[in-house]
Amino acid sequence: MTDDFDTLAGMSETANQANQPENNLASRLRKIRDDRGLSLDEVAVKAGISKTYLWELERDTDGLKKPSADVLLRIAKALSTTLAELLALATVKAPDGPVEIPPSLNEFRDRMGGQLTAQDLQELAATKFRGAQPQTVDEWHQLYFVLMNTTRRRST
């Protein structure tokens, strides 16, 4: 069953395709939604936003709409994708081979009493940061629990 917004979108999309850059939020949002076989209604309901707003975001090829980070995260989750994919953010390649484990991270592992695997340590040590890498046991502790809470929410 096609809804009115999808019908309107299909009629105007052909005219807009030639002028539409491949790398804007509007075109990526529409492409991901279409690739997943989801209607505007389904994504809007899952994301907790109005169907009209989602439709407007998909038509905003000039980038005039500025959805909040929260809205973008909810849309990405509704589309079963990452925020990085939705926004076409560059990804960072993990280094090949083992990474040197900082002493403070080893102390954090000891504090956790064996909960961290060698792979966990390597992944934490290889993480790239905008600012400085954690320097203290407490900073590693905070990072670890933020990451754990974030990944638990995504998997539910």
Token pair for 75: 């849309």
pTM of the model: 0.48
Least Cα distance to 58 among 4, 12, 3, 1 occurs for 12
Does residue 146 have a pLDDT over 80? no
Q: Please give the CATH architecture assigned to the domain spanning 4-87.
A: Orthogonal Bundle (1.10)
Task: Quickly tell me which residue has 């989801």 as its tokens.
Answer: 38
Would you list the domain boundaries of the chain?
Answer: 4-87, 103-155
Buried b (16+ CB within 10 A) or exposed e, 48-61: ebebebbbebbbbe
Which of the listed ranges 60-69, 84-93, 116-125 does the model predict with the highest average pLDDT? 60-69
Does residue 21 have a pLDDT over 50? no
